[in-house]
Structure 1
Amino acid sequence: MKTLYDVQQLLKHFGVFVYVGKRMWDIELMAIEIDNLYKANAIDKQAFLSAKLVLTREHRVEEEYEAAKDNLE
């Protein structure tokens, strides 16, 4: 798993579709859903860790984007 799209496809496999309207919130909700799938033993440790790494990276990128956007205003 390398991209946010890959994580979305994993969630889609379990019938989980995430769209809150703000990218940051989508990423955070996906992280919660991944946690729940792992706790329910629906995904293995490797898939869990890969998804969490992708989500952590995307969350950091989004935070940096928001900070840069705020500095321009």
Structure 2
Amino acid sequence: MKSMIDIYDLLKQYGTYIYTTDRLGDLSLMEDEIRELYKARVLETQDYQMALLLLRQEATRLTTGK
């Protein structure tokens, strides 16, 4: 997993589509879904950790404007 597109694609595989007008809200919902997939043992630890890292980096980028 290397980018946000990979996270979108992963969630789509499991029938989860998250698109609202609130980008930070979308990231929060995606994080919740990733956590649920990990709890259900669908995701491996490395994919789970990388997805959370990418989501948090994107959230930081949006809030700081960089």
* TM-score (norm. length: structure 1): 0.83
Aligned to 1:20: 20
Cα distance in 2 for partners of 1:60, 1:22 equals: 15
Amino acid at match of 1:34: I
Cα distance in 2 for partners of 1:33, 1:13 equals: 12
Write out the 4+ residue segments of structure 1 that deviate beyond 2 Å after TM superposition.
none
Pairing 1:55–2:55 present? yes
* Unaligned stretches of 5+ residues in structure 2: none
Amino acid at match of 1:62: L
Q: Which structure dedicates a bigger proportion of its chain to helix?
A: 1
Cα distance in 2 for partners of 1:23, 1:36 equals: 20
Considering only aligned residues, what root-mean-square deviation do their CA atoms show, in Å? 1.3
Q: Which has the larger radius of gyration?
A: 1
Amino acid at match of 2:40: A
Pairing 1:40–2:40 present? yes
Give % identity: 35
Aligned length: 66
Cα distance in 1 for partners of 2:5, 2:24 equals: 14
Cα distance in 2 for partners of 1:46, 1:16 equals: 20
Cα distance in 2 for partners of 1:47, 1:14 equals: 15
Shift of 1:43: 0.8
